[in-house]
Amino acid sequence: EVQLVQSGAEVKKAGESLKISCQGSGYDFPNYWIDWVRQVPGKGLEWVGIIYPHASDDRYSPSFQGQVTISADKSTNTVYLHWSSLKASDTAMYYCARQRENIYGPGRDGLDIWGQGTMVTVSS
Amino acid sequence: DIQMTQSPSTLSASLGDRVTITCRASQSIGGWLAWYQQKPGKAPKLLIYGASNLESGVPSRFSGSGSGTEFTLTISSLQPDDFATYYCQQYHNYLTFGQGTKVEIK
């Protein structure tokens, strides 16, 4: 079965660091782009950034550039989203999702496989 | 940045109704558009890619059309499982989502 499995919910304080994970299975993980998408409770979807695990090639939305870091470990089929210093405004559900095809490059297709989401709660 | 605007924000409909949701892009995106369905507490599910291509396993009552700046998602006959929030997403220049359309029971 093709799937992405994310790490569990996190409760942190402002200023702390955090790394959440997304592990893929059932397909050629290193050769598909993986996106991160944020959803604040009760709100819509926001694109955070993307990575190609095979080359660790990463790109970011201007809104999130410098605020988070996306990394990958192709030996374990895992992608990470990292904060060095959390803010209360980072409180949200974070989804990883696979880009359907990589023919046209990063961010150039729909997202066909989604993780179950990781809820991050940051208290001030 | 490319902005995506959906209308309406909320739609009340009955079982069996034909439902249409519109998505407008702030600049031309060709056919680089996807539609998703999201239910409470669940991850989004891809319905349509390339503006009009039905994702595998998605019922044929869902269809997409449009190009350039104006796109539509149509549900030909609303079923109980279709009450959810729907999002459009452009991928002409990375990704931007519309604000969502909630389809609720009339």
Inspect the interface and report whether the beta carbons of A111 and B45 lie closer than 8 Å.
no
Structure-token match 């109980």, residue found: B80
Residues of A whose CB is below 8 A from B94: 47, 50, 59, 61, 106-107
Exposed/middle/buried for residue B101 (C-beta within 10 Å: 0-12, 13-18, 19+): buried
- Interchain CB contact of B62 with A (< 8 Å): no
Inspect the interface and report whether the beta carbons of B1 and A111 lie closer than 8 Å.
no
- Interchain CB contact of A112 with B (< 8 Å): yes
A107 pLDDT above the threshold of 90: no
Inspect the interface and report whether the beta carbons of B95 and A106 lie closer than 8 Å.
no
- Cα distances (angstroms) measured from residue B89 to each of B51, B64, B80: 10, 13, 24
Inspect the interface and report whether the beta carbons of B46 and A59 lie closer than 8 Å.
no
| pLDDT band, residue A34 (cuts 50/70/90) | very high
Q: For residue range A14-28, what is the model confidence (pLDDT) as tens digits? A: 999 999 999 999 999
Which residue does chain A place closest to B33, by CA atoms? A110
Helix/strand/coil for A27: coil
Helix/strand/coil for A19: strand
Per-residue pLDDT of chain B (106 residues; tens, 9 = 90+): 899 999 999 999 999 999 999 999 999 999 999 999 999 999 999 999 999 999 999 999 999 999 999 999 999 999 999 999 999 999 999 899 999 999 999 9
A118 pLDDT above the threshold of 90: yes
